[in-house]
Amino acid sequence: MPMHAPFRRLPLLAVALLSACAAGGGDGAGLQIGGGAPVSGAFGAYLAGRFAATETDTTIAADSLLQALRVDPDQPELRTRAFLAALMDGRSDALRLARLLPDNVIANLLLAGSDVQGGRWERAEQRLRQLNRAGPVQVLQPTMLAWVLLGRGQPDAALALLRPLVDANRLRALNALHAALIADVAGRPREADRLVRLALADQPEPSLRLATLASGVLARASHAAEAQRLLDAIGQTGDDAALAAAEPNRRALLAARGVTTPADGMAEAYVALAAAMRAQAQQDMAMVLSQLALRLRPGFAPALILSADVLADQSHDEAALRALDGIATDDPLAGVVVLRRAALLDKLNRADEGVALLRRLAEAYPAQPQPMARLGDLLRRRERYADAAAAYDQAVRRTGTLRARDWPLLYARGIARERSENWAGAEADLLKALDLAPEQPLVLNYLGYSWAEQNKNLDRAKAMLLRATELRPQDGNIADSLGWVLFRLGDLRGAITWLEKAVELEPRNSVINDHLGDAYWASGRQREGRFQWRRALTTDPEAAEVPKIEAKLRDGLPGYPANSQAAR
């Protein structure tokens, strides 16, 4: 499926460079770049395509690189890049170019997928067996071969291929799951049941996709109660994925087969590896694998969601939204998609649209806390603190009995309440969050700092913040909070030590620089104090803090006259 993104205009220097490169000639088919002069030469089009690819504008990248290839068809690197661009943009040219790249792993995977879709099983098997088994392909090859063998009508051979990998505990969860799915498609429920239990045993906290596929296998093996419990566990995580395990999605998940053909199974394998690549910050490979999955299984929601996540990681938010457009509104993952869409709309300064989406989602899932919790997050980011607190109120009511995993919800509501001048409610939330998660440094920090600001419970705040610094020794905000508590306690030497560390960790934080200025001034180091206050004014202070800092620069720190001989 094409992954289009809005084209960003090239910087003027880049446009000039491309125009100069193109001036050397070409085929006369001028390509318009960002509204500037046509780029007609092979090298100019190549550079334009490279730039567009880095911007994840797959349409311009494919147009440019394919044009360059028409001008200079014998350049191996150009051919490879044009192939990848065509693949990422969902073009038929990708198959044509893949046939010209016999040693390219991605090209051969694409061709093998095409053979599978065409029922050319022997040719698909041959391609997969000839692959260089280096890198990620080493993980994929056995699974892909097993699905092709099933397509050839050889389920015994398919399961025999995966059995040693399952028995040797080599990527057991992946191989056992696919063996279970193969047995399930082949109509062997008892064997599928045994294998899927091995996959679940290897992953005590299964992902949503593993739980979804496994629950279907268990249900078809006459273990409906276990399948329900597996989805219950997902529903109780409190994560966004819980929406997919809620009714009416649950009935659909248990009734429908997640995988019905070898092409489906291969697409599952691609997405699993793509998720692993994304976790290792290999976004380009993750996107390629997602596109291979979508070639085999158009509209496959897990692949589209993963593509959107990768695009969002790279700040291509419009493209991420477009990727999510390909998911059907009745897909069991549709609720999860709405949560992602709302977050993307917020990033694109379309917060009102995000708010509307989340309110409709909350109505569709009246028992689930996630829509209102995400609405609270969105409103809090927009500094609509009272509205955020009200949204969190509904999320808490929907949550019911609070457990350790729910501390972030209370922490978030505590912040919203504190910012909307409801300190009593905020303190209650933060204390409850601390009861649920006593070692959570974010809660320790926020509550300890709030007490320091109010000049209360200072000894307890000090103990809490000392523990928080042990848990997160490189967190400048926590170091600042401890320094500020020590300042309030009159320990200027200790305050300066911690505040100097905080400034080293967070040199562009206005509040921290301001605090260090106060500590310097109070200890008699007025020149250094003024320097830190001036620095605080240059590091994006909140508007309300600017006149306070300017007053200190003019009059000094209240309660500490200039040239004070306070202990350093």
Percent of the chain with pLDDT over 90: 74
| Per-residue 3-state assignment (H helix, E strand, C coil) for 107-123 | HHHHHHHHHHHCCCHHH
User: Which of 162, 191, 167 lies closest to 178 in space, CA to CA?
Assistant: 162
Confidence of residue 563 (pLDDT cuts 50, 70, 90): low
Token code pair at residue 45: 């089009």
What is the gyration radius of the CA atoms in the chain, in angstroms?
Answer: 29
Q: What confidence tens digit (pLDDT) does each residue in 82-113 have?
A: 999 999 998 999 999 999 999 999 999 999 99
**C-alpha 443, offset from chain centre:** 23
pLDDT of the residue at 72: 87
Handedness of CA 68, 70, 72, 76 (dihedral sign): positive
Which residues have CB under 8 Å from 64's CB, separation 6+? 31, 39, 45, 46, 48, 49, 52, 85
* Integer Cα distance of 312 and 304 in angstroms: 12
44-59: burial string, b at 16+ Cβ within 10 Å, e else: bbbbbbbbbbebbbbb
- 13 pLDDT higher than 60: no
**C-alpha 104, offset from chain centre:** 29
pLDDT of the residue at 28: 36
Place of tokens 């008699």: 524
- 30 pLDDT higher than 80: no
Q: Report H helices in 249-300.
A: 249-255, 262-279, 283-296
The mean per-residue pLDDT over the stretch 278-306 comes to: 94
Helix axes 155-167, 189-202, angle to 10 degrees: 30
- 4 pLDDT higher than 70: no
- 9 pLDDT higher than 70: no
Averaged confidence pLDDT in the chain = 89
Comparing 291 with 562, which gets the higher pLDDT? 291
- 122 pLDDT higher than 60: yes
- 25 pLDDT higher than 50: no
Confidence of residue 23 (pLDDT cuts 50, 70, 90): very low
Q: What confidence tens digit (pLDDT) does each residue in 418-433 have?
A: 999 999 999 999 999 9
Confidence of residue 339 (pLDDT cuts 50, 70, 90): very high
Confidence of residue 254 (pLDDT cuts 50, 70, 90): confident
Confidence of residue 129 (pLDDT cuts 50, 70, 90): very high
Which residues have CB under 8 Å from 89's CB, separation 6+? 2, 3, 4, 58, 59, 61, 62
Q: How far, in Å, are 146, 167, 169, 254 from residue 159 at the CA level?
A: 7, 12, 15, 24
What 222-230 contacts at long range (C-beta under 8 Å, 24+ apart), as own/partner pairs, is: 222/189, 223/193, 224/254, 227/254, 228/254, 230/200, 230/206
Confidence of residue 345 (pLDDT cuts 50, 70, 90): very high
Confidence of residue 203 (pLDDT cuts 50, 70, 90): confident
Token code pair at residue 253: 């998940």
pLDDT of the residue at 54: 81
Place of tokens 């496994």: 214
pLDDT of the residue at 41: 67
Confidence of residue 15 (pLDDT cuts 50, 70, 90): very low
Q: Are 206 and 217 in contact (CB under 8 A)?
A: no
The mean per-residue pLDDT over the stretch 446-462 comes to: 97
The mean per-residue pLDDT over the stretch 472-498 comes to: 98
Q: What is the dihedral of CA 37, 39, 40, 46, to 10 degrees?
A: 180
Q: Report H helices in 297-369.
A: 301-313, 317-324, 334-347, 351-364
pLDDT of the residue at 40: 52
Min mean pLDDT across 134-148, 276-290, 298-312 is at: 134-148
Confidence of residue 253 (pLDDT cuts 50, 70, 90): confident
Q: Which amino acid is at 60?
A: I
pLDDT of the residue at 46: 82
Question: Are 106-298 and 460-568 the same fold in CATH?
Answer: yes
- 50 pLDDT higher than 70: yes
**Structural domain boundaries in the chain:** 12-99, 106-298, 460-568
CATH topology of domain 460-568: 1.25.40
The mean per-residue pLDDT over the stretch 249-266 comes to: 89
- 405 pLDDT higher than 60: yes
Confidence of residue 17 (pLDDT cuts 50, 70, 90): very low
CATH class of 106-298: mainly alpha
pLDDT of the residue at 58: 86
Confidence of residue 287 (pLDDT cuts 50, 70, 90): very high
Handedness of CA 425, 428, 430, 433 (dihedral sign): negative
pLDDT of the residue at 5: 32
| Per-residue 3-state assignment (H helix, E strand, C coil) for 17-30 | HHHHHHCCCCCCCC
Q: pTM for the full model?
A: 0.85
